[in-house]
Amino acid sequence: MTANGELFNPNALTAAHKYLPLPIHVQVTNLENGKSIIVRVNDRGPFPSDHNPDSGRRGFVEQGTARVHVETIRLEEA
C-alpha cells in the first residue's frame, strides 16, 4: 500500500516525495537531457535521503539517478 492507501504498482507512472500533498501530479524534468515526464505522487517512500522525488521502474532516468527540476501541475479533468 502507498501512503495514500493505493495499491503499489511498480509499473505505474508514480513517485514518492517527502513533503508534497498526496496525491498530486508533478512534471519532472531531467536537467542533463531536458526530457520530462508527468508522474502522480502517491507515496512517501522509503527511499534514500537524497532521492526526492523517487520514481518506480517506469521512471525516465536510465542511470538510476539524475538532477531534476520538479514542478507541481494541475491536470484538467475530462
Q: What pLDDT, on a 0 to 100 scale, did the predictor assign at position 55?
A: 61
Per-domain boundaries in the chain? 14-73
Q: All 3 cell numbers of residue 25?
A: 501530479
In whole angstroms, give the CA distance from residue 58 to residue 39.
Answer: 10
Q: Does residue 73 register a pLDDT over 90?
A: yes
What is the CATH number that goes with domain 14-73? 2.40.40.10
27 beta partners: 38, 71
Q: What would the mean pLDDT of 52-60 be, rounded to a whole number?
A: 56
Please give the grid coordinates belonging to residue 39: 508522474
**CA 1 to CA 75: how far, in whole Å?**
24
Is the pLDDT assigned to residue 60 strictly greater than 80? no
Q: Is 7 exposed, middle or buried (0-12, 13-18, 19+ CB in 10 A)?
A: exposed
* pLDDT tens per residue across span 19-38: 899 999 999 998 988 989 89
**pTM for this one?**
0.75
